[in-house]
Structure formats: structure tokens, C-alpha cells
Amino acid sequence: MTLSGRFVLLLALGAVPIVLFGPSSGQATGVLALWVLLVCVLGGIDLALAASPRAVTVERMLPSRVRLGESVTSELYLTNTGRRRLNAVVRDAWQPSAGAGQNRSRVVIPRGERRLVSLTLTPFRRGERRVEQVTVRSPGPLGLWNRQATLNAPGRIRVLPPFHARKHLPSRIARLKELDGRTSVMVRGQGTEFDSLREYVRGDDVRSIDWRATARRNDVMVRTWRPERDRRVVILLDTGRTSAARVDNEPRLDTAYEAALLLAALTSVAGDRVDFLAFDRRVRGRVQGASGAALLSQMVDSMALIDPELIEMDWAAVPGQVRSITSQHALVVVLTSIDAAGASTGLLSVLPQLTKRHTVVVASVLDPATVLAAATRGGRDEIYRAASAERALLDVARVSAAIRQLGADVVTASPAQLPPALADRYIALKAAGRL
């Protein structure tokens, strides 16, 4: 039961009869008691005449997934099973980050009928957004007292990572295609494989002439090559505490998602097999053996529910995890953060085990604020900031150098630049036949 503003106003209007008909204290008190009684009786009658909000059945229709930043429509069907006409206000209690905005609406449902309440959701946080309950407030005919009931109507919608980096995909695919069908001049070497024979045209490298075929066909034939296919790529995502840090108002983890998605999309186009693993001290998400469209959808699905964990990454377990995915040579992409030397000892200690079997690329976000601070030398405080920033950059450089010395590759870039940079590095490695 709830009161309405109208009831409060009506109660306040009691001052008029009290002043008019209550010259003495006793009479005025009597008028007050009568007025309060009258108002309460009216409220009681109103409450008794209100339609029951309990006699409402709720059905919900929701799309199961939405990309972050896009909008979906949540549909709520309310059926009035009571005996009276329901004239109510309905609140669909979505979590705030579901972006429901104004989630109260007025509905009029005649007895036995059904009405649709639709709500546009624009979630502003990744993950699973839930709704558990619907509250129905049904005022009486006088609008003094309301009946109110909360109905259980659970629903959930999975908000997937936005994958803004897909805008880089066409250009990278184009560059990948350029690798195809090239003659040996450009790409021949270890890691490329024989594609087909074609007639010699001027400009082809004479070294790629296939003399046997030329003898058979009475025409000069050259071999063409294409980049090797069906290589394995393992994307390892660090979801430990350092992934929670925000760079350019985006957690490192989300930048890593973008990079991982772009890389996965590119590798599946290139015909390589991608395995995805999100790990800190336990496996937080794993996608194995998927390809094509299923790969990306499975990846975003498992990414959607992962939030950074405030624990230290267990690097010692990483080689074992990679081994459990593949025993063959693979390109292992480690998406983590390269900070001071002390914080990276875990990574550095296990890199030799990885580089012995695999090609390893370590990708990390570089804070553009640090780069900017290193170049800003206005006053005294800014010089100290620049020195501190320079120190941080030198630390990153030292760790990067150490990683390179251990045989791995390093990609560092600002959040916006990291996904294309990683994709470029992948294309470069593929062109060099190092997969």
C-alpha cells in the first residue's frame, strides 16, 4: 500500500474546516479527528476499489545478446487476470547499467486482456545485465491510496564487447590477400607453400621458373606461392590485476579484447586456427576448435562475462595451459601489460619455455598520457612529471628489450593503435613465414 500526493493534499485541506468550525480548542480537536477519520475512510474505500496488482501475469521477451553501445527493445507483456480494470504504473527494475532510462510507464489493462510495455535498453557496461522484478502500482478510482506489488519476472541480456576495431579489418584483409599469389620474389621462403603453376610473364623472378613443368608444357611456367595455412594461433589474455587499470578511459582488458577480436577475425580469414584463453590464476574463458563466424561469436560470448580479477597473474601455469591447447608450433600472442621490471619478472621467467616451442608476441598498451607527459616541460612540477614519465618509458623499454632478448616479439601502442598494430605484426610474421 502506498499513499499519493493527492491524499497528502486532501489531508492538508483539513486546516480549512478546523479554522472555520473550531472556535474553541475542544471543537477544533473534534473537527480534526473527524477530518482525519473521513480522509482515512475515503482512502480505505479507494484501496478496496483498486484493482489488484497481484492478479497480473508477466511475460518477457528479450534478445539474448547485444553489442555494447547498441540498443535493444525489451518487451514486457502484462496480462490482467483480475476482476477489475487495471490502471497502473509499472516499473521494470533493470540494473542501472542496462541503460533503461525512464523505466516507469502507465498502462491501462481491461479485465482479461494483455498489454505490451516496451523499453529501449542501451547498456553502457559489458557483461550480463539482469532484471529480476516488475513492480506494479495500482491506484484506486479516487487516486488516494495505491496498491503495490512486486512480481518476479527475471530476465537477462548479455552485453558483448563492442569490437570497435573491426573498422580496421577490411584494410588488413586486403593486405593479407596481397600476400596470396605472390611470386617468390616477395614471399618465397620458409613458411610459404606451393600454390600453383602459371605462365611466365615479364617481371617474374627467373628463379621461380619450374623447369620440369616448362619442359612438359612447352611454355615457360613459374611456380606461385601462397602463405602457409592452417597454422595455430593461441591468444592468451591476462585478466589479472594489471588488466583493470584504465588507459585512455578504457580498461586494459577491453583494449586487449579489441586486439584479440581483430586478430581472431584476421586469422580465421587467413585460414589459421585460433584458440583463445583468458587466464589469471584459473581459466576464466576458453574458446577452442571454433572457426569462421562461430569463433567470433564464441569469443565475444566468453569475453562478455569476464571482468578483471584483483589478483596477481600466475605466469608459472601459463606454459602448461598453452601446452594443453596445442603441442605443435604455434604463434602465442600474450596480451598483458609491460610495466616495471619488478612487475614483469613472472612473464620474463616463463618466456624461455614458450619461445623454445612457439613464436611469441607480447602485446601491451602504452599509456599515451605518459608519452605526452614526457614531452611536456613547462614548470617545475611538469619537469618532475616528465622525468617520472621518462622513467616509466625507460622501464617499459628495458622490459621490452629483455623480452626480445628471450626470443619473443613486443608490440606496444596506445589503446586505439594496439589492435591494428598487433594485426600488422601478425601479417608481417605471416609474410615472413614465421608462423
Closest to other proteins by CB, 194 vs 384, is 384
171 interacts with other proteins by CB under 8 A: no
DSSP 347-410: HHHHHHHHHHHSEEEEEEE--HHHHHHHH---SHHHHHHHHHHHHHHHHHHHHHHHHHHTT-EE
124 interacts with other proteins by CB under 8 A: no
Which neighbouring-strand residues pair with 412? 364
Minimum distance of other proteins from residue 163's CB (angstroms) = 19
133 interacts with other proteins by CB under 8 A: yes
Cα–Cα distance, 261 to 247 (Å, whole number): 19
Which residue from 4, 224, 344, 359 is in contact with other proteins, where contact means CB under 8 A?
A: 4
**In the window 408-427, what residues touch other proteins (CB under 8 A)?**
411-413, 417-418, 420-421, 424-425
Minimum distance of other proteins from residue 102's CB (angstroms) = 5
Minimum distance of other proteins from residue 215's CB (angstroms) = 41
58 interacts with other proteins by CB under 8 A: yes
49 interacts with other proteins by CB under 8 A: no
Cα–Cα distance, 421 to 413 (Å, whole number): 7
41 interacts with other proteins by CB under 8 A: no
Closest CA to 136 of 49, 47, 56: 56
DSSP 150-170: EEEEEEEEEEEP--GGGGGHH
Which residue from 324, 328, 345, 388 is in contact with other proteins, where contact means CB under 8 A?
A: 388
Q: Name the amino acid, one letter, at 142.
A: L
Contact string (CB under 8 A) for other proteins, positions 322-361, x = contact:
-----------------x----------------------
Which residue from 38, 60, 314, 348 is in contact with other proteins, where contact means CB under 8 A?
A: 60
Q: Name the amino acid, one letter, at 268.
A: S
Closest CA to 277 of 226, 330, 345: 330
**In the window 290-309, what residues touch other proteins (CB under 8 A)?**
307-308
Closest to other proteins by CB, 91 vs 286, is 91
3 interacts with other proteins by CB under 8 A: yes
| Cβ neighbours around 400 below 10 Å, total | 20
Cα–Cα distance, 214 to 199 (Å, whole number): 9
**In the window 72-111, what residues touch other proteins (CB under 8 A)?**
75, 77, 89-97, 100-107
Cα–Cα distance, 217 to 211 (Å, whole number): 10
